[in-house]
């Protein structure tokens, strides 16, 4: 679809304000850098990545020193022997790797959540930006409408002074002019609300004045529903995160079953005998220095109270994660259908406005002004023509805004810029 044709282009005047006009790309950059939601997920991701790296680290060894066979409790000098030993716990082979796999997938899931949040923030910023632009454009339309009613009032005064119309028409022209001031109050309130919403996303004071570029129609390539759904299932970060969480839950369930396997502890040490006759080797070699090594096995004999409950818990967690994947897929498909239908509907409206409604409304008002001046139509017909022109342009702006917001939402659903 082509953009707005020059013959029916709306005013591109930027509302007067002390604020610098911000482009959409500038606003998106500011929001991405200042979003607390993105920052929080980035820190969570880095924390999860650190835990994944830690999963393969060995348990801390323990070192012990003992003095044996002392003649009194604090008689270290009279000890018969000194024992030095070190112990290293070892999990059953494979447990650490399974834990690492689960932690890594959880970290990747959080990374996908962070990217999904980035697209969510971008969609929210675009929506707020377009809404603010719409509010500011509506103020310009109101100003144009007031200028038309000022012209209508001037014509009505001349015709009233010449006796061509009654005082009722003159009063109605005055009412129409002053009504635009009431409309302006509502439009100013809408602008302040839109400014506050955008300022919140930019982490700026809510009452900071903002000026944005006027709404212009940017046509996007048409996307078929089947193609869009395929891209969404493959690329949407919410779906990727759910799948990774499900895979991580499956790894944790397997790790819970591995809790039934034994763990080990290797021990090695040496003993020094201060009293030679205390050594078991003095009778043969006169050796007062001995060594020992050992292996300790931890058996899960209380699995009915420990590992069984862990297996049951992780089984439920896995079921929840699998259900969450299906839930997000179904919600995404429903949102995609709604978004595409909204885009297609607004696209047809925009085409109709550009090709027919706006040109006809402009021509009708210009002819109505001429015919009213000549006394060929009454005031009500002229007022209706002015109102129709304003409403047509206002509805056109709404359709363009909804079209652009729809594509911002579509980008989020597809996990990519469209």
For 165, half-sphere exposure in the C-beta direction (CA atoms, 13 angstrom radius) is: 25
> pLDDT, tens digit, for every residue of 209-248?
999 999 888 888 889 999 999 999 999 999 999 999 999 9
> pLDDT, tens digit, for every residue of 142-163?
999 999 999 999 999 998 888 8
Can you tell me which residue has the tokens 């085409």?
351
> pLDDT, tens digit, for every residue of 368-403?
999 998 889 988 899 999 999 999 999 999 999 999
Is 416:221 a contact under the CB 8 Å cutoff? no
In the β-sheet with 81-90, what is the strand arrangement from edge to edge? 62-68, 81-90, 263-273, 289-298
Residue-level pLDDT at 6: 31
Which residues have C-beta within 8 Å of that of residue 77, sequence separation ≥ 6?
none
pTM score, two decimals? 0.83
Residue-level pLDDT at 175: 92
Q: In order of start, what are the domains of the chain with their CATH numbers?
A: 6-34+91-262+299-330 (1.20.1600.10)
Q: Are strands 62-68 and 263-273 parallel, antiparallel or unpaired?
A: unpaired
**For residue 259, what are its two tokens?**
């809790």
């Amino acid at each position: 679809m082509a953009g707005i044709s020059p013959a029916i282009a709306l005013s591109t005047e930027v509302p007067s304000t002390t604020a610098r006009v911000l482009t959409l790309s500038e606003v998106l950059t500011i929001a991405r850098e200042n979003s607390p939601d993105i920052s929080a997920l980035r820190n969570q991701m880095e924390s999860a990545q650190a835990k994944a790296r830690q999963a393969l680290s060995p348990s801390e060894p323990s070192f012990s020193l003992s003095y044996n066979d002392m003649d009194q409790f604090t008689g270290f000098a009279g000890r018969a022997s000194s024992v030095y030993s070190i112990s290293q716990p070892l999990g059953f082979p494979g447990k650490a790797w399974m834990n690492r796999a689960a932690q890594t997938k959880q970290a990747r899931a959080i990374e996908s959540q962070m990217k999904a949040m980035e697209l969510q923030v971008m969609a929210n910023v675009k929506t707020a930006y377009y809404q603010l632009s719409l509010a500011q454009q509506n103020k310009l339309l109101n100003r144009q409408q007031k200028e038309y009613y000022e012209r209508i009032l001037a014509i009505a005064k001349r015709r009233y002074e010449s006796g061509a119309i009654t005082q009722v028409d003159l009063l109605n022209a005055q009412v129409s002019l002053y009504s635009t001031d009431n409309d302006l109050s509502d439009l100013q309130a809408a602008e302040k609300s839109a400014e506050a919403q955008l300022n919140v996303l930019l982490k700026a004071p809510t009452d900071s004045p903002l000026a944005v570029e006027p709404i212009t129609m940017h046509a996007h390539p048409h996307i078929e529903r089947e193609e869009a759904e395929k891209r969404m299932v493959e690329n949407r970060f919410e779906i990727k995160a759910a799948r990774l969480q499900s895979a991580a839950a499956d790894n944790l369930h397997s790790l819970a079953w591995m809790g039934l396997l034994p763990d080990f502890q290797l021990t090695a040490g040496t003993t020094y005998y201060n009293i030679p006759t205390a050594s078991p080797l003095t009778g043969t070699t006169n050796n007062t220095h001995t060594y020992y090594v050992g292996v300790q096995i931890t058996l899960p004999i209380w699995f009915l109270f420990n590992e069984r409950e862990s297996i049951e818990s992780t089984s439920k967690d896995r079921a929840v994660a699998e259900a969450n994947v299906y839930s997000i897929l179904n919600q995404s498909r429903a949102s995609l259908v709604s978004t595409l239908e909204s885009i297609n509907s607004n696209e047809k409206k925009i085409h109709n406005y550009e090709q027919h409604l706006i040109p006809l409304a402009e021509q009708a008002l210009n002819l109505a002004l001429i015919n009213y001046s000549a006394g060929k139509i009454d005031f009500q017909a002229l007022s209706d023509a002015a109102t129709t022109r304003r409403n047509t342009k206002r509805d056109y702006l709404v359709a363009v805004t909804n079209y652009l917001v729809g594509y911002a939402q579509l980008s989020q659903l597809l996990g990519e810029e469209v």
